[in-house]
A = this chain, B = another copy of it.
Amino acid sequence: MGEADKREAILEAALSLFVERGFHGTAVPLIAERAQVGAGTIYRYFESKETLVNELYRELKRSLASHVGEDFPTSGSPREQFHAFWARMVEWATKNPEAFAFLEFHSHDYLDRSSRKVGRQGRDTGLRMIEYAQEHHALKEAPPLLLVGIVLGILQGVMRVKWEAQGGLAVSDEDLSLAEQCAWEAIRV
Q: Residues of A at under 8 Å CB distance from B?
A: 21-25, 105-107, 109, 140, 142-143, 145-158, 160-161, 165, 169, 171, 175, 178-179, 182-183, 185-187
Partner of A186 from B146, B161, B186 at Cβ < 8 Å:
B186
Report whether A157 and B156 are in contact in the complex, using a CB–CB cutoff of 8 Å: yes
Report whether B153 and A157 are in contact in the complex, using a CB–CB cutoff of 8 Å: yes
How far in angstroms is the closest Cβ of chain B from A3? 17
Task: Rank and list the top 7 A-B pairs by shortest CB-CB distance, nearest first.
Answer: A153-B157, A186-B186, A24-B24, A22-B109, A149-B161, A149-B157, A153-B153
Report whether B182 and A186 are in contact in the complex, using a CB–CB cutoff of 8 Å: yes
What number of copies of this chain does the assembly contain? 4
A145: chain B residues at CB < 8 Å are: 161, 165, 169, 171
How far in angstroms is the closest Cβ of chain B from A65? 18
**Secondary structure of the A contact surface, majority rule:** helix
Known pairs A153-B155, A155-B153, A157-B154; A178 contacts B146 (CB<8 A)? yes
Q: Can you report 10 residue pairs joining A to B where beta carbons are below 8 Å apart?
A: A21-B109, A22-B24, A105-B107, A107-B107, A145-B165, A149-B160, A150-B158, A153-B160, A182-B186, A186-B186
How far in angstroms is the closest Cβ of chain B from A142? 5
A169 to B146, CA, bound (A): 10
A21 to B111, CA, bound (A): 12
A154: chain B residues at CB < 8 Å are: 149-150, 153-154, 157, 186
Report whether A149 and B142 are in contact in the complex, using a CB–CB cutoff of 8 Å: no
A154 to B147, CA, bound (A): 9
